[in-house]
Amino acid sequence: MILNDRTILLTGGSNGIGRALALRFAELGNTVIALGRDETRLAEVSALSPRIHARQCDLEDAAQRVELAEWVVKEHPDLDVIFNNAAVQYRFDVTQPIDLVKAQQQLEINLLAPLHLASLLVDHLATRPKPAIVNTTSALAFTPLVEIGVYSATKAALHSLSISMRYQLRDRGIDVIEVLPPKVDTTIGAELRDDPNSTQGGMPVPELVRQAVAGLESGEQEILIGLSAQAKVDPEAIFHRLNNENTH
């Protein structure tokens, strides 16, 4: 994948991995349209580079996704990459009545939004040279972490959809690429920790971005990072390792 002089629509671009990706893509000479819900964080990330343009959007809202697609084609007709990175993560416990709001939010943002947004923009992308759709999934696409079972399931579903999208779009010249991080040191899943302002630990964000960008530049379709490679090969062993580590 060419990673200079592109126009990249990046969801979840105001925090964590997305913020770091926005800055790195800008450094490589791309125009980045960073999406997020928090206007303060968006203003902060857009101030990092004149190549980063912020756009407030709640991807949980289907109507806002439609409005976004119409806006980006009009205001950024050179759009040639969609990077579906936004996600939310909450605790899962089927032994208790589930929180439907949180479950539905994960399904909407983590799974339906990437699918919907891609479907709204494929006709435009097909007119561009070497267009691409990039989906961020997870090592949990191959084996779940029970404590965040719904989140894990959305990543497994997005992995499956990425394969289907790749097949359906193969004759339209649109590459479909999947980035599969391990646990990364961000604030996602804050409700799982005693201090909601702490990070979850894991791979440092700069290292994740380095490996993701290297995989994109080398043309990999599945960019398996850290534990993802092991989880794909031996999901049962990784399942027991992950869930035994999280039962104390």
- List active site positions: 151
**Beta strand pairing call for 132-136 and 81-84:** parallel
d(CA 31, CA 138): 26
β-bridge mates for residue 134, sequence order:
83, 177
Q: Which residue has the tokens 């700069």?
A: 206
Integer CA distances (angstroms), 119 to 126, 161, 167, 192, 201, in order: 11, 12, 14, 33, 34
d(CA 243, CA 112): 27
Q: In what order do the strands lie in the sheet containing 52-56?
A: 52-56, 31-36, 7-10, 81-84, 132-136, 175-180, 222-224
